[in-house]
Amino acid sequence: MTTNGVIQLLLFFGLILLATKPMGAYMARVFGGERTFLSPVLRPIERLFYRLFGIKEDEDMKWTTYAFAMLMFSLVGGLLSYGLLRLQGFLPFNPQHFTGAQMTPDLSFNTAMSFTTNTNWQSYVPEAVVSYFSNMVSLAIHNWMSAATGIAVAIALTRGFARRSAAGIGNFWVDMTRGTLYVLLPICLICSLVLVQQGSPQNFAPYTQATTVEGGSQSIGQGPVASQESIKMLGTNGGGFFNANSSHPYENPTPLANLAEMFSIFLIGAGLTYTFGKMVGNTRQGWAIFAAMALMFLGGLGVCYWSEARGNPNVANLGVMTQATAGQPGGNMEGKETRFGIANSALFATVTTDASCGAVNSMHDSYTPLGGAIPLINMMCDETIFGGVGAGLFGMLMYVIIAVFIAGLMVGRTPEYVGKKIEKFEVRMAILAVLILFANVVCWTALASNVKFPPGATSQTFSDSQRTQEAAFLQANPAATWNRVNGSNPSNYYGATYNNVNNSGPHGFSEILYMYTSSTANNGSAFAGITANTPYYNATGGLAMLVGRFLMMIPLLALAGSLAAKKVVPASGGTLATDSTTFAVLLALIVLIIGALEYFPALALGPFVEHLKMLGGSLL
Amino acid sequence: MLDIFYVLITVFFFAVAAAFVRGCARLEKEE
């Protein structure tokens, strides 16, 4: 670890700390329906939308209506994306002439669900199969809508705590419109201009064919990159315009662009903690949640940076210099961009997995075992560390319910939070949401570690000259297609689903575990060592994302409805202070302890045993 | 054929989610 690196990490955190209050106060005004400095421009547009779509601005929805509206909106959006991806060959803005054949049904399903759920897992190479139209209409539009959905649910849950004896928790369509118009749109506009100024392209030109210095030919992908990049980060979506994501110089051209991207990932998530405090009438409550998130963020960042800066001792044992000097960064630089170095790679990896963003500026698969465990653990904390836009706040409020319940048991009183009694139904809903996420990760991981499609334990390939044998093989084993790599030539039938990983042993297991954790947490980053573009992984991954997103949101909306209907209980001498440092520490510990109880066995089989093996001189 | 399969999977999931909403609402009423 270098002083320079630590200063950069602290500078980033300082910027987030500074931005939290103004951003949070602004969002509180927006969702409270108050006038903001953008109202003269945006209010007429907002009203026009309501008139066009027949939305009654003052109509309050019960939580069930709110949930049905959210589900219907996501279903229609998801199916629309699926159709557009399959039909991209007939649609405009497609200078590379990509077709629906490249976006197979299972890949289109995975991609459509991925973007609908704010996950943005990409089983494909975007610049090789997705047209500009698909990028802008089918995918980028979900970057906006899924982000606005997350914010809407967080605001609805906040209203549950803030309202007294109320039947409704707000209006889904109004929250969506306001979140998009007043929050996402203006900030994205600024971010896009910053990225263009820093060097990101924004055009509709066909790819440039260049001749390299060796005389070879290179196709240089481009397109409307800056606009997609800005919402990709601000909306914590993470799906890149290019396969290399934010390590690609067009997506992330300079260290300043890198800082701006990381800042925009955390901006709304951090701001919403203050919005919560403002809306419940006690900003200290919001700061306590912020403090719990910050504790976990700084702890994870410290371990990740330390582990990467320390590097792999086996490399040092070979006589390779791994200490940082003025001329080289030392540590573990495998899979990292030299432009960003170890500190900014570790910071980006921590931020992107805390926030369920999923964009990457380095390859997490190449991290040291402990360094790679941090992104995994961050996602296992259920998006609570600033989290995805909205998802961070509602994820943390889910743990707040559990924390006050446990603290209430400890002091022998009825649990209360911001004046609301926490009773059986609320605790049930919070626990249900936690267990759904946990079961979703471990069940899919266990399945993928054991399922065997034909040809079984050993994979099989067929070249062009072996098509007759391939046809006979498929006739005898039709199930083999479930784990055939889409578009592979020679045709690659992996057979057992654990054959899809690039590494054997604990690291291979981590690659599978990472995929389903990332899908469930709606993160979308990949450990990169897994070939997931097969019907089995595309279908199960898509389902994992849907469960992780919607089956978590529903109990939390039920919680919001139940809380909104309650009266406020005045604080008494026995009320646990939830706006204190003690509560912030307790909250962080509850998240970590529950996470450890759930995932320790899986982590022990993956990164932890890999770390011990590394210390013992082995990496296999 | 596969297109229909994946569209049906999607619709089925959202139907399950809608049933989940109703289940949570019933639980809320009972308590």
* pLDDT tens figures, A19-72: 999 999 999 999 999 999 999 999 999 999 999 999 999 999 999 999 999 999
Of B7, B9, B17, which is closest to A554 when you measure between CB atoms? B17
CB A255 within 8 A of CB A340: yes
What confidence score (pLDDT) does residue A147 get? 92
Q: Collapsing DSSP states into helix, strand and coil, what is residue A336?
A: strand
For residue range A194-215, what is the model confidence (pLDDT) as tens digits?
Answer: 999 999 999 888 889 999 999 9
Mean pLDDT value across residues A157-179:
93
The angle at the Cα of A311, spanning A310 to A316, to the nearest 5 degrees, equals: 100
A86 touching chain B per CB within 8 A: yes
Residue A43 pairs in a beta bridge with none
Please name the residue that has the structure tokens 């279908």. Answer: A539
Q: Tell me how far CA of residue A118 lies from CA of A34, A232, A276, A302, A397, in angstroms.
A: 28, 10, 22, 27, 19
Q: Closest Cα to residue A438, out of A353, A339, A346, A552? A: A552
CB A71 within 8 A of CB B14: yes
Q: Closest Cα to residue A393, out of A117, A45, A151, A224? A: A151
List all residues 6 or more positions away from A79 whose beta carbon is below 8 Å from its beta carbon.
A112, B7, B10, B11
Q: How far apart are the first and last CA of chain A?
A: 27
List all residues 6 or more positions away from A120 whose beta carbon is below 8 Å from its beta carbon.
A114, A143, A232, A237, A238, A239, A358, A524
Mean pLDDT value across residues A240-267:
92
Of residues A549 and A382, the one with the higher pLDDT is: A549
Name chain B contacts of A551, Cβ cutoff 8 Å.
17, 20
Exposure b/e, A42-58, CB count within 10 A at least 16 = b: beeebeebeeeeebeee
Q: Collapsing DSSP states into helix, strand and coil, what is residue A13?
A: helix
B7 touching chain A per CB within 8 A: yes
pTM above 0.90, yes or no: yes
Exposed, middle or buried, A157 (CB in 10 Å: 0-12/13-18/19+)? buried
Mean pLDDT value across residues B10-25:
96
Q: Closest Cα to residue A401, out of A217, A198, A556? A: A556
Q: Is the pLDDT of residue A128 over 70?
A: yes
Q: Tell me how far CA of residue A70 lies from CA of A76, A138, A223, in angstroms.
A: 10, 18, 32
What confidence score (pLDDT) does residue A620 get? 60
Q: Is the pLDDT of residue A572 over 90?
A: no
d(CA A371, CA A510): 13
| Rounded (10°) CA dihedral A343, A344, A350, A354 | 150
For residue range A177-197, what is the model confidence (pLDDT) as tens digits?
Answer: 999 999 999 999 999 999 999
What confidence score (pLDDT) does residue A55 get? 93
What confidence score (pLDDT) does residue A122 get? 87
Q: Is the pLDDT of residue A356 over 90?
A: no
Residue A492 pairs in a beta bridge with A461
For residue range A467-515, what is the model confidence (pLDDT) as tens digits?
Answer: 999 999 999 999 999 999 998 889 999 999 999 998 888 899 999 999 9
d(CA A193, CA A441): 38
Exposed, middle or buried, A487 (CB in 10 Å: 0-12/13-18/19+)? middle
Q: Cis ω on the peptide bond leading into residue A490 (within 30° of 0)? A: yes
Name chain A contacts of B14, Cβ cutoff 8 Å.
71-72, 74-75, 550
B20 touching chain A per CB within 8 A: yes
Q: Is the pLDDT of residue A619 over 80?
A: no
Q: Closest Cα to residue A245, out of A142, A121, A355? A: A121
d(CA A131, CA A546): 25
Element (H, E) at A386: none
Q: Which phi-psi region, left, alpha or beta, contains residue A223 (left: φ > 0; alpha: ψ -120 to 50)?
A: left
What confidence score (pLDDT) does residue A317 get? 86
CB A389 within 8 A of CB A147: yes
* Percent of chain A topping pLDDT 90: 71
What confidence score (pLDDT) does residue A575 get? 81
- State which amino acid sits at residue A354: D
Q: How many CA atoms lie within 13 A of A110 on its CB side?
A: 25
CB A66 within 8 A of CB B27: no
What confidence score (pLDDT) does residue A347 get? 96
Contact residues, A window 554-583, toward B, CB-based 8 Å cutoff:
554-555, 557-558, 561-562
CB A405 within 8 A of CB A415: yes
B17 touching chain A per CB within 8 A: yes
Q: Is the pLDDT of residue A574 over 80?
A: no
Mean pLDDT value across residues A297-323:
91
Task: Quote the minimal CA–CA distance from A105 to chain B in Å.
Answer: 6
B8 touching chain A per CB within 8 A: no
Inter-chain contact B13–A74, Cβ cutoff 8 Å?
Answer: no
Q: Which DSSP symbol is given to A211?
A: E
d(CA A536, CA A485): 10
What confidence score (pLDDT) does residue A617 get? 87
Model confidence at A255, in pLDDT bands (50, 70, 90)?
A: very high
Tokens standing for residue A95: 């200078």
Residue A217 pairs in a beta bridge with A211
Name chain B contacts of A72, Cβ cutoff 8 Å.
14
Of A71, A105, A555, which is closest to B14 when you measure between CB atoms? A71
Q: Which DSSP symbol is given to A88?
A: G
Tokens standing for residue A560: 């919001």
Name chain B contacts of A425, Cβ cutoff 8 Å.
27-28, 31
Inter-chain contact B17–A555, Cβ cutoff 8 Å?
Answer: no
Mean pLDDT value across residues A146-156:
93
Model confidence at A374, in pLDDT bands (50, 70, 90)?
A: very high
Greatest extent of chain B over all pairs of C-alpha atoms, in Å:
45
Q: Is the pLDDT of residue A309 over 70?
A: yes
Q: Which phi-psi region, left, alpha or beta, contains residue A319 (left: φ > 0; alpha: ψ -120 to 50)?
A: left
Q: Computed over its alpha carbons, how large is the radius of gyration of chain A?
A: 24
Flag the least confident range among A90-99, A184-193, A354-363: A90-99
Q: Is the pLDDT of residue A283 over 80?
A: yes
Please name the residue that has the structure tokens 């296992």. Answer: A380
CB A563 within 8 A of CB A430: no
What confidence score (pLDDT) does residue A568 get? 87
Q: Computed over its alpha carbons, how large is the radius of gyration of chain B?
A: 14
- State which amino acid sits at residue A392: G
Task: Quote the minimal CA–CA distance from B20 to chain A in Å.
Answer: 8
| A97 phi/psi in degrees, rounded to 5 | 55, 45
Q: Please, what sign has the CA dihedral across residues A435, A436, A441, A447? A: positive
d(CA A29, CA A179): 11
Q: Which residue in chain B has the smallest CA separation from A545?
A: B13
Inter-chain contact B10–A109, Cβ cutoff 8 Å?
Answer: yes
What confidence score (pLDDT) does residue A326 get? 82
Of residues A387 and A594, the one with the higher pLDDT is: A594
Inter-chain contact A543–B13, Cβ cutoff 8 Å?
Answer: yes
d(CA A301, CA A354): 10
CB A5 within 8 A of CB A309: yes
Q: How far apart are the first and last CA of chain B?
A: 45
Of A78, A105, A558, which is closest to B24 when you measure between CB atoms? A558
